[in-house]
Amino acid sequence: MATHLEITESLKTFTDNYSKNERLKIMNRDWDRVVLIKATDIESIHTLTLKDGVLSLNEGASGAPDLTVVSDSETLADVFYGDINPTEPYNNGTLRVMGSEDDITRLDFIILMIWGE
Amino acid sequence: MQLKRVLTLRTVVATSAGLTMASSSFVAAVMVANYVLGDTAWIAILIGGALCFLAAACFSELNGLLPTAAGIRLYFSRAFNEQVALTVSLLYMLVVVVGVVGVESYILSKVLNEAFPAIPSYAWIVVMLMLVTGMNLRGIKIAGVFQDVITYSLIVFLVLIGLFALGKVGFKLDAPFSPGGAVGIINAVAVGVFLFVGFEWVTPLVEEVTQVKQISKGMMIALGILSVVYAIFTVAMTAVVPKEVLIASPAPQLVFARAVLGDFGASLMIIIILATSLKTFNAGIISVSRFMYASAREHVLPAVFSKISMRYFTPWVAIITLFFIGLVASGLTLLTNQYLVLVGLAAAMSSIVYAMVGLAVISLRRRMPEQVRPYLIKGGYLVPILTVFIFTLLAVAVLSADLSALLYMSIAFVATLVYVNTVVPRLKKKYETRKPAARRRPARATKEVEGK
């Protein structure tokens, strides 16, 4: 089981890597979204907010999300650190993402562009 | 927490019905009519619809138990194993895509060639596929509201023209309950299932609705509407135009519209065929290209299919590959004129998947008995057992009546099985060797995790 702090660190690493990628920021200028990340086995909620291509991280929930990512703490930390590919836990039901199909695909594209295969 | 955007029941019904209604559906409707005596096609269609209700109930239970866009991939993986899930998912995509693209493009090219004889049939297919591929590469989707409008307009149009035609010929049911022999009825019902193929493709929307039950309700309403619409329209077609004329045409709905409303009816039907095919192609390419992308991401297909357009965020390699698959499938169909085999193939494959969905319900009730089920089929094991039995029978009926379909199905099955057992392990191994040895997650944290 990962800790809340570890999930926070994984999301910070993810946000930092996103912010270093100028191309990704330009590509997402028109994709303003709120993503809620929630762990199922510990008390841990974070919000990623993408506005005008800039990604920011907050602890807790803030506003109605466009996407909700729900999984156990281990999977969440591993996915946002880029240690595992999100498709496998998604296909075996460990990771749930609620939102429109287009938004889910776009989030996966971003993870792929940051962490590669 | 409530999502900002959620889908309404209206959109769920329109999506389920819309994915089902293709120009090729009317070819299947005429095949159904041809298997039974007189004007009793409605019996086979209503039975086909009622049987799909059984499958829809099974899909609803699985969808509530495992709410995911991954659909049968996850249901079968939990109920059976990963290999079965992968083989069936790949085979289903392959057969349905080739079947639907082949038949749909064949019909479209024949219809447009009739309207504009100077332009060769295949040119229409190329133009249509290029248009849809271009839209997909640019990430242009037919908006939800527009999709709803197309689907509901089509439903209203089919009912109105059907009733008008029945009134025009002073239709009376001659022998309403004498459809003929059992073999004919079974074959008619089996092909009738093709009319409803795709109703379950609405289950991935489970992540976009407020309540899981909305998907079940939407599927059931769509099946009810479609059963009635197809029954009215098919009876009207056979009441106005002789069956042998309809079966000889790749676009019986066009022949019928011309017979009822003259050139105006034909022009109207051409527009409807165009809109329906465009919608079917577009929805097909979106779903299958995303499936290919996701499969490449989990190293089941070559990594090249996960390549993304930097400008439009679309899986361009998968989309372009589908364009070429579409060109080949439709070219071969046009060359061989074997579009009816593809209808049988898609009907058989759907029946196999529906039978397996029934089995998955039974298996998961044993494997995950404690798991909460927002939708539980009443009557214990009766509905899943009936689903398994009936759809197995229908698949056998279709494949034994059409040996070409059986041959193609066997080849596709063996090819998929070989692929899953030889190529997939290699792709996964290749990925493992390329994967960075060190984890990005700090070592201290990892040790703590391992210690727990």
User: Any idea what the CATH number is for the domain that residue B379 is in?
Assistant: 1.20.1740.10
Helix axes B252-297, B316-336, angle to 10 degrees: 140
Q: How far is the alpha carbon of B414 from chain A, nearest alpha carbon, in Å?
A: 24
Q: Residue A45's beta-bridge partner residues?
A: A38
In whole angstroms, what is the distance from residue B183 CA to residue B395 CA? 13
Residue B442 lies in a domain: no
**Which of A27, A49, A101 has the most B C-beta neighbours within 10 Å, making it the best mutation to test the interface with B?**
A101
- Burial tier of B156 (Cβ tally within 10 Å: 0-12, 13-18, 19+): exposed
**Cα(B29)–Cα(B251) distance, rounded to whole angstroms?**
11
Residue type, A85: N
In a 13 Å sphere around the CA of B398, the CA atoms on its Cβ side amount to 31
Q: Which residues contact B203 (CB under 8 A, 6 or more apart)?
A: B59, B63, B71, B215, B219
Q: Which residues from chain A sit within 8 angstroms of residue B73, using beta carbons?
A: 91
Structural domains of chain A ordered from first start: 4-115 (3.30.1050.10)
Quick check: A88 and B298 CB within 8 A?
yes
Of A85, A99, A105, the CB nearest to B298: A85
Q: Is B385 part of a structural domain of the chain?
A: yes
Separation of alpha carbons A26 and A10, rounded Å: 23
Cβ contacts of B434 on chain A, cutoff 8 Å: 117
By the 8 A CB rule, do B18 and B283 touch?
Answer: yes
Residue B310 and residue A92: Cβ atoms within 8 Å?
Answer: no
User: Which chain B residues touch A67 with a CB distance below 8 Å?
Assistant: 3
CA atoms within 13 A on the CB side of B155: 21
Please list the residues that pair with A40 across neighbouring strands: none
Residue B3 within a domain: no
User: Are B7 and B83 in contact, with CB atoms under 8 Å apart?
Assistant: no
Q: How far apart are CA B253 and CA B112, in angstroms?
A: 14
Cβ-based contacts of A87 with chain B (< 8 Å): 294, 297-298
What residues of chain B lie within 8 A of the CB of A93, using their CB? Answer: 66, 68, 70, 74, 78
E-state strands within B58-108: none
Cβ–Cβ below 8 Å for B70 and A74: no
Distance from CA of B208 to the nearest CA of A (A): 5
Q: What percent of chain A has pLDDT over 70?
A: 99
Which pLDDT score, from 0 to 100, does residue B242 have? 92
In a domain, B439, yes or no: no
CA distance B294 to B288: 10
**B310:A23 CB<8 A:** yes
Q: Is residue B440 part of a domain?
A: no
Answer whether residue B438 is part of any domain. Answer: no
Q: Which of B1, B77, B298 sits opposite A87 (nearest CB)?
A: B298
Interchain pair B310, A82: CB under 8 A: no
B307: left (phi over 0), alpha (psi -120 to 50) or beta: beta
Q: Do A27 and B310 touch (CB under 8 A)?
A: yes
Distance to chain B for A32, nearest Cα, Å: 12
Q: Give B427's Cβ-side CA count (13 Å radius).
A: 18
Cα–Cα dist B53/B224, whole Å: 9
Mean pLDDT over A92-107 rounds to 86
pLDDT at residue B246, rounded to an integer: 92
> Which residues on A lie below 8 Å from B440 (Cβ)?
13, 81-83
| CA–CA distance, A19 with B266 (Å, rounded to integer) | 57
Tell whether B157 is covered by a domain. yes
- The partner residue sitting opposite A81, judged by closest CB among B1, B78, B440, is B440
Inter-chain touch B298–A91, beta carbons under 8 Å: yes
Note whether B350 and B191 are within 8 A (CB): no
Distance CA B321, CA B7 (A): 31
Q: Which domain holds residue B211?
A: 9-431
Q: Which residues in chain B touch residue A101, judged by CB atoms under 8 angstroms apart?
A: 69, 204-205, 207-208, 290
CB proximity list for B401: less than 8 A, separation 6 or greater? B187, B190, B344
Cβ atoms B28, B194 nearer than 8 A: yes
User: A27, A73, A100: which to substitute to probe chain B, counting the most B Cβ within 10 Å?
Assistant: A100
Cβ atoms within 10 Å, residue B447:
10
Structure tokens that stand for B101 in this block: 């693209």
Neighbours of B177 (CB within 10 A): 7
A38 backbone φψ class: left, alpha, beta (φ>0; ψ -120 to 50)? beta
Residues A104, B69: C-beta atoms closer than 8 Å: yes
Please enumerate in sequence order all residues whose Cβ is within 8 A of that of B315, keeping only pairs 6 or more positions apart, or say none: B289, B290, B292, B293, B305, B306, B307, B308, B309
Beta carbons of A27 and B73 less than 8 Å apart:
no
Query: Which residues of B are less than 8 Å from A13 in CB distance?
Result: 440
CA distances for B296 relative to A86, A111, B304, B308, angstroms: 12, 15, 7, 12
Best mutation target among B19, B63, B65, B68 (most A Cβ atoms within 10 Å) is B68
Where on the phi/psi map is residue A82: left (φ > 0), alpha (ψ -120 to 50), or beta?
left
Q: Which residues contact B221 (CB under 8 A, 6 or more apart)?
A: B9, B13
Task: With a cut of 50, list the residues of chain B below it in pLDDT.
Answer: 445, 447, 449-452
Beta carbons of A65 and A35 less than 8 angstroms apart: yes
Predicted local confidence at residue B141, as pLDDT: 64
Q: What does the radius of gyration of chain B's CA atoms come to, in whole angstroms?
A: 23
B15, B297, B298, B424, best to mutate vs chain A, most A CBs in 10 Å: B297
* Nearest chain B alpha carbon to A14: B440
Count the neighbouring beta carbons within 10 Å of the beta carbon of residue B365. 19
- Tell me how many domains chain B contains: 1
Which is nearest to B45 in space by CA: B231, B177, B222? B231
Give pLDDT, residue B73: 86
Q: How many other C-beta atoms can be found within 10 angstroms of the C-beta atom of residue B438?
A: 7
d(C-alpha B88, C-alpha B395), whole Å: 15
Residues of A in contact with B74 (CB under 8 A): 91-93
**pLDDT (mean) for A50-67:** 91
Whether A101 and B69 lie within 8 Å, measured CB to CB: yes
**Residue B229 in contact with residue B155, Cβ under 8 Å?**
yes
